[in-house]
Amino acid sequence: MAASHSDAFVFFGATGDLACKQVFPALQAMIRHGQLDMPIIGVARSSWSDDQLRERAHDSLQKHGGLDSQAFDKLSTRLHYVSGDYGDDATYQKLRQALGSAAAPLHYLAIPPGMFEPVIRGLVKSGCGRGARIVIEKPFGRDLASAQALNRTLHKSFAEDAIFRIDHYLGKEAVENLLYFRFANTFTEPVWRRDHVASMQITMAEQMGVQGRGAFYEEVGAIRDVVQNHMLQVMMLLTMESPKDGGPDAIRDEKLRVLKAMRPLAPAEIVRGQFRGYRDESGVAAQSQVETFAALRLHIDNARWDGVPFYIRAGKQLPVTCTEVMVELRPPPRALFDADGSGRSNFFRFRLSPDRLISVGARIKAPGESMVGSATELIAHHHPGDEMTPYERLLSDALRGDAALFTRGDTVEAAWRVVNPVLGEAAVPVAPYEAGTWGPAAAARILAGGDRWHDPKAQEASS
């Protein structure tokens, strides 16, 4: 069993892009908020000194998030560097010396998944893994078989409660608020079920393309990059049953339960798209079949959600950068007053990014003698203050051993089971679409009945 609080922070990949953009800003913020009073050790292959790592941290903070001179001075005094090859036993002997009396370190593997196994082996062999926790970055495999293999590798040396699979999306304030909104308000539970919900859809749109990372994107695609993890996590928060308490295992148990009730995807329930020009990107195959857009319909076979369609749409080179959830409610059983000619007007809308809001759609009477009205939207905007960034929140939780916002191994495998039937050789061909549009026209065919895709840009303009 891991200790209650870690007493050292070790991050592999200390000279990499993730450390520059996310880890150093998170470490500075944690020190500013009094959450990181321990040795901080960066590990990488480059033959750097402690001072060079501090210079790298200084530069990264100036570019990403801002430099707090007082907090940075404290960070500098705690920051040390270990250089060496991840496959060399000598690297881990140096790390063991740098850890000194620390008996419960947190090891953060901000490195490619292919390096997880040699690093874990080196930690265990040197004694650096004793009493330790380990944090790994997504992707957690690229299909069900590879996810199962990764879990076997991790479980050879670490208990599940010492493994923290980090998905920065779960550390976002707006995503956490989905769980809070559902279970902290009495008015949601009576309507949050098949009797009142007509459909749910989640849109994660990006205006940008692959930004010169064609070779990377060829290995993932939209389904592996954001659907299997980020989007399914959001869907779990929207559809899970109330946990027995607020503890991490209770919440993750309910996530797993609803994920197991999701029907595996069928080819007829997914459309894959690729924006025109993607194949011209460096590192992209001339006849690439990697999707830059995916639209899919999911079903949950349980008493709460039976018969309700769930739609997910994610892609690049779309008209707007925005992540939004739309929960459409069924119309009243009897239309006593004027009918709504523009479609359903009762809904909950959650804007997760770039701005954050929660809105409720309703109809109100127009002034005058006639009982006629119009659709309106009641909007609550969120105005952030000095909030924790996702990485600050998640790394702080991992140091305390709080796993609520981390993905459990069985949940990772259950998520892959949902999408696995439409990956690899079973994948449907990609359909081309023009940059700046909402993907291929074929995306409309997965909608059930009179459902339609909601345009977040149009919704914002109307509110």
Count structural domains, the chain: 2
Same domain, 129 and 174: no
Q: Which helix (H) or strand (E) holds 398?
A: helix 390-400
List the CATH number of the domain containing 325: 3.30.360.10
Residues 344 and 288 in one domain: yes
Domain end (from 137, 158, 190): 137
Structure confidence by residue, pLDDT tens digits, 34-67: 989 999 999 999 999 999 999 999 999 999 989 9
pLDDT tens digits, one per residue of 438-456: 999 999 999 988 899 998 8
Is there a domain that residue 1 lies in? Answer: no
Residue 223 scores a pLDDT above 60: yes
Concerning whether 230 is annotated as a catalytic residue, the answer is: yes
Flag whether pLDDT at 2 surpasses 50.
no
> What is the strand order of the sheet 197-205 is part of?
373-381, 357-365, 347-353, 322-329, 197-205, 310-315, 293-298, 270-275, 430-433
d(CA 82, CA 46) in angstroms, rounded, equals 9
In 10 A of CB 158, how many CB atoms?
A: 20
One domain for residues 186 and 242: yes
Boundary-marking domain end, from 112, 137, 162: 137
Q: Are residues 179 and 132 in the same domain?
A: no
Same domain, 69 and 183: no
Domain match, 125 and 178 both: no
Q: What pLDDT, on a 0 to 100 scale, did the predictor assign at position 1?
A: 39
Q: Which of residues 115, 137, 159 is at a domain's end?
A: 137
| 57 φ, ψ (degrees, to nearest 5) | -65, -45
pLDDT at 335: 67
The predicted pLDDT at position 331 comes to 85
Domain that includes residue 95, residue range: 8-137
Residue 241 sits at the vertex; the CA angle it makes with 235 and 245, to the nearest 5 degrees, is 115
pTM of the model: 0.91
Higher pLDDT, 376 or 226: 226
Q: Do 334 and 257 belong to one domain?
A: yes
What digits encode the pLDDT tens for the residues 304-328? 999 999 999 999 999 999 999 999 9
* pLDDT for res 423: 95
pLDDT value at residue 450: 85
Catalytic residue among 80, 107, 168, 230: 230
Nearest C-alpha neighbor of 344 from the set 321, 367, 363: 363
Task: Give me the amino acid identity at 121.
Answer: R
- Asked whether residue 357 falls in the same domain as residue 435, the answer is yes
Residue 392 is predicted with a pLDDT of 95
322-329 vs 270-275, strand pairing mode: unpaired
282 within a domain of the structure (yes/no): yes
- Residue 300, domain member (yes or no): yes
Cα 24 from Cα 20, distance rounded (Å): 6
Contact 155, 149 (CB under 8 A): no
The verdict on 300 and 438 lying in the same domain is yes
The token duo for 147 is 């996810």
Instruction: Say which amino acid occupies 142.
Output: R
Residue 194 shares a structural domain with residue 132 = no
Residue 177 in domain: yes
Instruction: Assess if residue 383 is contained within a domain.
Output: yes
- For residue 385, the model assigns a pLDDT of 60
- 114 and 192 inside one domain: no
Based on the domain organization, do 362 and 253 belong to the same domain?
yes
Query: Would you say residue 399 lies in a domain?
Result: no
pLDDT band at 156 (very low <50, low <70, confident <90, very high): very high
**Domain CATH number, residue 22:** 3.40.50.720
Q: Is residue 251 part of a domain?
A: yes
Pick from 10, 2, 24: nearest CA to 109: 10
Whether the pLDDT of residue 3 is over 50: the answer is no
